[in-house]
A and B are shown apart, each in its own frame.
Chain A
Amino acid sequence: MGQKFDEALLKAVDFAFDTLGESCRKALYFHLRTTFHVRKREIPKKVGEFDKALRLIFKDGAVFLERLILERLVEGLGVEFNEKRSLDFVGTVLRIRDMVWERESLLMVSNVDAVVVTKGGRGGEEV
């Protein structure tokens, strides 16, 4: 179920790194893997380590990259994020992930309901 979220996060990270330029993007993925032990595909599962690495590399400047990632993530997933609480990068990513999971769960439930109604309506199959 988290595949859509993971893909959107990876795309958002790619987008943010791309704004720095091709060499920077490659250097960042390389050092994330070799120095910080976070492979690109592992970023959704290692958001904390990813955040820590960016903050170690860019110090206060990491905020700008992380803000770009969050903006792109929200846009890519089509979620409205109006959190009242003040959250850091990791907290925000996890909250957005939960929102997507909740939305997908609701969709799955409503799809099941739709199937039940359809089957009942045709009268051909006991549910």
Chain B
Amino acid sequence: MKHRARILVIDDDDGIRKTLSKILENRGYLVEALENGRQAIEASNKRFFNVALIDIRLSDMEGTELLERLRETEPKLVKIIITGYGSLQNAIEAVNKGADGYVLKPFDAKELLAMIEKHLKKQRENMEYSDRKVAKYIETRVKQIELEKWKERAK
């Protein structure tokens, strides 16, 4: 069974939330669309999301503040800023604060999906690499433990 990526959409504009949800669900992603930063933090504490699409201006906090807070709770989460304020300054600030990318409103659905897929591929590769490394550590550690036990018994 293929794993379906979970995407968090955070935007106070109901129209944008619905549009993005439809685009992403049609592509097979599991989507949770929320209107503010507080709800996003609660949701990310409850379950793992692969990607978060964050509007730069939210009703209760700046999108860049949410970026930093999500980075603390879920470092593996891919964070993409959506900005209607397409200045280079906003984009630079977002990337400096931990965004993996940004899209400008009005966005092109194809470009957005391509960006998400590129990040998901990289995330998958990183996770697989880290899984292999930790599994290798577990194997090595268990061998050491068994050797220590064997030495204890041999005394």
A69 to chain B: closest CB distance in Å? Answer: 15
- Measured between beta carbons, the chain A residues less than 8 angstroms from B130 are 21
Q: Are A57 and B131 in contact (CB under 8 A)?
A: no
Contacts of A67 in B (CB 8 A): none
Contact with B along A52-93 (1 / 0, CB 8 A): 000011100000000000000001000000000000000000
Q: Does A27 contact B (CB under 8 A)?
A: yes
List the count of A-B residue pairs having beta carbons below 8 Å apart.
36
Select the stretch in B5-13, B84-92, B137-145 that faces chain A. Answer: B137-145
Interface residues on B, range: 10 to 19
CB contact under 8 A between A27 and B138, given known A21-B128, A21-B131: yes
Q: Can you list 30 residue pairs at the A/B interface with Cβ under 8 Å? A: A20-B134, A21-B127, A21-B130, A21-B131, A21-B132, A21-B134, A22-B131, A23-B131, A23-B132, A23-B134, A23-B135, A24-B131, A24-B134, A24-B135, A24-B138, A27-B135, A27-B138, A27-B139, A28-B138, A31-B138, A31-B142, A35-B145, A35-B146, A56-B145, A57-B138, A57-B141, A57-B142, A57-B145, A58-B141, A75-B46
Interface residues of B (CB under 8 A from A): 46, 48, 127-128, 130-132, 134-135, 138-139, 141-142, 145-146
